[in-house]
Amino acid sequence: MPKIIDHEKRRKQIAEATWRTILERGMEGATVRNIAREAGLSLGALRHYFTTQDELLGYAMTLVKEKAAARINEVAKTDLPPKEKAVRLMLEIIPTDEETMAEMEVWFAFTAYARHKGEEFHPQHDGILAYIRGLIDWLDDNKHLKPNLDKETEAEKLYAIADGLALHALLEPERLSKEKISRVLVQHIESLFI
Amino acid sequence: MPKIIDHEKRRKQIAEATWRTILERGMEGATVRNIAREAGLSLGALRHYFTTQDELLGYAMTLVKEKAAARINEVAKTDLPPKEKAVRLMLEIIPTDEETMAEMEVWFAFTAYARHKGEEFHPQHDGILAYIRGLIDWLDDNKHLKPNLDKETEAEKLYAIADGLALHALLEPERLSKEKISRVLVQHIESLFI
């Protein structure tokens, strides 16, 4: 059914134009009109793919999540040693290159914007906490985790470290290099291991 | 010089009207006109105290910092046991009540807004990292810190934990109670102690 595939491909292109618009102009500038221009579409053509601005922004955020999930799955499939794998898995959710920095920028702008938009948006439900709980469980199941750790507190702490580093990497990219981020993660993951 | 005192007092009242406006309407709604209305002033009267919107917003953010600094100084003066004091000092920079939640909300909205405003704003330079480095040094000077810790990495990690918890407390206040935040901080501070 090539028509449906084209439809989805076009929606992705529009989502990417949305990210570029947010990166250049901030959320204030992410109007349907500006996004259409960035995507090289008429306003009417864009409306064919997304009826409302909120639908478009929601979809653009979903794609950010999907891209991160795809990267995580790639790392999960490797057979790196457990410590290294755990660090690499955490690095996938912290902006350390142009692509992930752009994703974080979009997430940040979108989350701030959505806070005054009421209940339709739940950008915080990005699945990261569930993902980190899964990582702690995996370490535990494989007998890597120190005994007597409170897994729930450790998951909450690792979640805070991940989003704290992500926020600082976004706001102070010159101070917080990838090396510094890695050093914190390596040190922390090692502190969890037997 | 009562006139100067009145001037400063009025500027603070306007800054507080700015926070309320941001909390109610988001940054999009934090126009000089809306802030003047919230402060009960004419546009002309407001311009007497702040020439530009950026000057007003910058001052409102400075006041957020000053309020946090005043709370921190109060805790620093107490003679709590070191572990408890360290946890309390960290809790002062994480939103756990209505006042600090409002400060975080303003910080978040303002930071997102300022990212597309160029170089005049540096909301990330809030002094928190320097504050946390000072806390680690204080623990070290008083022989509480485990030997062989890399203090710079520990400061970066504690900074990430603080801002990560602050972000999550803002975005998910129902999930992340003050008790949960305290549990993470107590566990982490204890892990640093001899």
Mean pLDDT of B101-124: 75
The values of phi and psi at residue A124, to 5°, are -70, -20
pLDDT band, very low/low/confident/very high, at B3 (cuts 50, 70, 90): low
- Amino acid, single-letter form, for residue B4: I
**What pLDDT digit, counting tens, does each position of A145-167 carry?**
999 999 999 999 999 999 999 99
Residues forming beta bridges with residue B145, ordered by sequence position: B193
Q: Where are the domains of chain A?
A: 1-51, 62-192
> What architecture does CATH give domain A62-192?
Orthogonal Bundle (1.10)
**Topology of the domain covering B63-192:** Tetracycline Repressor; domain 2 (1.10.357)
Domain A1-51 has what CATH class? mainly alpha
- Residue B125 DSSP code: -
Collect all residues with Cβ–Cβ distance below 8 Å to B104 and sequence separation of at least 6: B95, B166, B169, B170
Q: How many H-runs (helices) and E-runs (strands) does chain B carry?
A: 9, 0
Whether the CB of B28 is below 8 Å from some CB of chain A: the reply is yes
Structure confidence by residue, pLDDT tens digits, A42-64: 999 999 999 988 889 888 888 88
Measured between alpha carbons, how far is A150 from A58 in angstroms, rounded to an integer?
A: 35
Distance in angstroms (rounded) separating the CA atoms of residues B82 and B138: 10
- Is residue A126 scored above 90 in pLDDT? no
Q: Write the ipTM.
A: 0.88
**Residue B119 in this model has a pLDDT that exceeds 70:** no
Q: Are B26 and A115 an interchain contact pair (Cβ–Cβ within 8 Å)?
A: yes
Q: In angstroms, rounded to a whole number, what is the distance separating the alpha carbons of residues A48 and B92?
A: 50
pLDDT exceeds cutoff 60 at B1: no
Q: Which of A29, A108, A163 is nearest residue B164 as measured by Cβ atoms? A: A163
A1-51 and A62-192 in the same fold: no
Give dist(CA A96, CA A166) in Å, integer: 9
Out of A161, A163, A171, the one facing B111 most closely (by C-beta) is A171
Rounded to a whole number of angstroms, the distance from the CA of B165 to the nearest CA of chain A is 5
Dist CA B37 CA B46 (whole Å): 10
pLDDT for B185 beyond 80: yes
